[in-house]
């Protein structure tokens, strides 16, 4: 494993115990310039992990707590009238940063979600008649609570598609939870120092791009994506009624990037089908639109992805 990646993980582990898959997913987002959605019940260190990662990377960090009364200007900024100069000036919002944490993103209404779309896709902000390009690197890492029922809004499919990966965070092991409780009770958490500069992060990105991917592996990933759209062609007639819309072309693009980063994190200079298996659910699960039949029967996207991986021949 790359020494810089090891250093980042060591710093994050000072305040976050366990949750290896979440940390790997966030690192993949940073290395591929992709936005990440993290879903999990309260108390699983989602916000803490994102904050720790930004500190270890020395990135500018802003956190926005999404609420039902949030306005687009609360995120983007606004034109403010200056009576002394008799002119309007731009007050920049928290989106002007490197790493934006959108906490409980599904609590904000449609106006805020649509304002965030331009920022996520174009990496620019429009305030009044002016557009401002955001200084790279820029990432949105959003959290959402799956069990909340009141004051929440379902994220539009178009916005979900902008997230490179959706990480589903589970409970820690009993041993990890014991360690967490002891550390918090005894106030033994350490402060995090920046171990990677922006320039070094750019070098890491170039190393990820240089990871080799065989043509057969590339074709295999396209077949996996195609199977979500035309399951009957792959002998998956039993799941055809459960998928309303298959994965979008962004899935193919993001999977090509994510598997290279996954191989890099595992210390390899080439991509294997194992790397694809490790990351496929995170890249696909939020982009497969389930049918009414699937929801009625409690079928999840993860279950359908498992069936697809079993059916498509591995190179």
Residues of the chain with pLDDT under 50: none
How far, in Å, CA of 277 to CA of 170, rounded?
A: 19
pLDDT reported for residue 223: 94
Cα three-residue angle 210-119-92, rounded to 5 degrees: 120
Contact 310, 227 (CB under 8 A): no
pLDDT at res. 189: 67
Structure tokens at 256: 């090509």
Residue 130, beta-bridge partner list: 127
Could you give the CA distance from residue 296 to residue 306 in angstroms, rounded to a whole number? 19
Residue with tokens 């403010």: 80
Q: Which CATH number fits domain 211-311: 3.30.365.10, 1.10.10.60, 3.40.120.10, 1.10.8.80?
A: 1.10.8.80
Domain ranges of the chain: 3-186+193-200, 211-311
How far apart (Å, rounded) are the C-alpha atoms in residues 165 and 257? 11
pLDDT at 43: 75
Identify any residues that bridge with 133 across adjacent strands, giving them in sequence order.
124
Kindly report the pTM of this predicted structure. Answer: 0.88
Assigned token pair, 15 = 């305040």
**CATH of span 3-186+193-200:** 3.40.50.300
| DSSP of the chain | --HHHHHHHHHHTTT--S-HHHHHHHHHHHHHT-EEEEE--TTSSHHHHHHHHHHHHT--EEEEE--TT--HHHHHEEEEEETTTTEEEEEE-TTSSSEEEEETGGGS-HHHHHHHHHHHHHSEEEETTEEEEPPSS-EEEEEE-TT--TT--PPPHHHHTTEEEEEEP-PPPHHHHHHHHHHHHTT-PPPP-----HHHHHHHHHHHHTSB--HHHHHHHHHHHHHHH-GGGGT-HHHHTTEEE---HHHHHHHHHHHHHHHHHTT-SB--HHHHHHHHHHHHTTTSEE-HHHHHTT--HHHHHHHHHHHSPP-
Q: Tell me the Cα Rg of the chain.
A: 21
Q: How far apart are the first and last CA of the chain?
A: 25
pLDDT digits (tens, 9 = 90+) for 2-42: 788 888 888 888 888 888 888 899 999 989 989 999 988 87
Let me know if 89 is exposed, middle or buried by CB neighbors in 10 A (0-12, 13-18, 19+). Answer: exposed
């Amino acid at each position: 494993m790359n020494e810089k990646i090891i250093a980042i993980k060591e710093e994050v582990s000072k305040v976050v115990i366990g949750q290896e898959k979440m940390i790997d997913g966030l690192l993949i987002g940073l290395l591929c310039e992709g936005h990440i959605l993290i879903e999990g019940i309260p108390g699983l260190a989602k916000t803490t992990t994102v904050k720790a990662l930004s500190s270890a990377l020395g990135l500018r960090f802003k956190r926005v707590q999404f609420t039902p009364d949030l306005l687009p200007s609360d995120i983007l900024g606004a034109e403010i009238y200056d009576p002394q100069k008799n002119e309007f000036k731009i007050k920049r919002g928290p989106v002007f940063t490197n790493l934006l944490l959108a906490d409980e993103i599904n609590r904000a209404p449609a106006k805020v979600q649509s304002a965030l779309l331009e920022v996520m896709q174009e990496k620019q902000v429009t305030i009044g008649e002016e557009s401002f390009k955001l200084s790279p690197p820029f990432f949105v890492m959003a959290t959402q609570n799956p069990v909340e029922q009141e004051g929440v809004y379902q994220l539009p499919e178009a916005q979900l598609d902008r997230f490179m990966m959706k990480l589903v965070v589970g409970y820690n092991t009993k041993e990890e939870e014991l360690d967490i409780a002891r550390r918090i009770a005894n106030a033994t958490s350490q402060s995090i120092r920046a171990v990677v500069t922006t320039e070094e992060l750019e070098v890491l990105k170039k190393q990820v791009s240089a990871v080799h991917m065989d043509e057969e592996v590339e074709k295999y990933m396209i077949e996996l994506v195609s199977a979500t759209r035309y399951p009957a062609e792959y002998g998956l007639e039993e799941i055809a009624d459960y998928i309303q819309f298959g994965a979008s072309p962004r899935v193919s693009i993001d999977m090509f990037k994510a598997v290279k980063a996954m191989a890099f994190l595992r210390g390899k200079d080439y991509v294997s089908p194992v790397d694809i298996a490790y990351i496929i659910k995170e890249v696909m699960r939020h982009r497969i639109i389930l049918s009414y039949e699937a929801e009625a029967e409690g079928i999840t996207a993860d279950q359908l992805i498992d069936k697809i991986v079993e059916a498509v021949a591995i190179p």
